[in-house]
Chain A
Amino acid sequence: MVAAIRPSDWNWLLFGHLLAAFALVAGLTVVTLTSLAAARSRSGAHGALLQTIAFRTNLVVVIPAFVAVHVLGGILAGREFPGASEEPGWLDTSFVITTVATVVAVALALLQYVLVRRAPAGRAGDLQVRAAACVPPLVLAALLVVVVLMAGKPA
């Protein structure tokens, strides 16, 4: 069924694009779960552990997966819609959302880095912890909107 999204001969590209997208959503899910748990944690040691996991997962999985999704999606779009003016609205919107989400993920990594550095000394601010917990679910929700756009291709 998945291949019906892009009826083409570029199955390897589509397969790579899908694997990157699955890895991206998986990584964001881990970042979301650990960030929310860190914000709720009453133990400083557990909070620090969860913040570290969220930061590393964002850096090692989420951001690289965003890049892979962008690159492979761009190649697929270029082959399916050779002229820039031919690109449909749903594709443009998806690219805009994904680009903004990538920038937000990078900004989140910077915030998480600050939290990881400050957490062992107990200097992580409450507002920073809450911000780091609120952002990942929003990025995840934005990605689900992209999935809907990619699959449904609304006119």
Chain B
Amino acid sequence: MSTYEWLLVLHLLAAFCFVSGSVAAGVLHWLAMRRERPSEIALLLGLVRPMVLVIGLGSLGALGFGIWLTRDDPDGVALGDGWVVAAIVLWLAAGALAGPAGKRLRQARELAERMAADGDRPSETLHAAVADRTALALNYASFALVIAILVLMVFKPGAG
């Protein structure tokens, strides 16, 4: 396999870590929202923790290997192409939205862990923290941008 093909493999593997990791984390968060006991919420949100590293590395890898690919793309794709620039801008925006959402989710997990150790009784405060509307809105918006990046990668609008 050529260097270009290896870079493409790494770019795709990173994209899978980024996108599939985000979906998996979203599913676990959604499942946590449907539970009442703090210990169960803490358990499910605790499973999101290892995904944060996977998503972060995948996100950086997808961008880094993607930019590297443009250096010797056989189809003439360049870093300055409109759809490539748009994808990078969307990547930055997605990261900017996901950061604060992740912070709120971490606070909810820490609250769940404290409440689990303190009687493990269902709590409206915890439920509100796990189903925080701002965090949900930021996560949905970030995911929509990731899907938009995928659309750009597949359809390459404006490419020759």
Interface string of A20-37 (1 = CB under 8 A from B): 011101110110011001
Interface size on B, residues (CB 8 A): 36
Majority SS of interface residues in chain A? helix
Q: Could you tell me if B8 and A1 are in contact, using CB atoms closer than 8 angstroms?
A: yes
Which B residues are CB-close (under 8 A) to A1? 8, 11-12, 66, 69, 77, 153
Main secondary structure of the interface of B (DSSP, over half): helix
Q: Digit string of A57-90 for contact with B (CB within 8 Å is 1, else 0)?
A: 1000100000000000000000000000000000
Which residues between 29 and 64 of chain A lie within 8 Å of chain B, taking CB atoms? 29-30, 33-34, 37, 43, 46, 49-50, 53, 57, 61
Measured CA separation A152–B2 after assembly (Å): 9
Q: A: which residues have CB within 8 A of B?
A: 1-5, 7, 11, 14-15, 18-19, 21-23, 25-27, 29-30, 33-34, 37, 43, 46, 49-50, 53, 57, 61, 144, 147-148, 150-154
- Given pairs A26-B19, A53-B31, 9 additional interface contacts (CB within 8 A): A3-B155, A11-B155, A14-B154, A33-B28, A33-B50, A147-B9, A151-B5, A151-B8, A154-B1
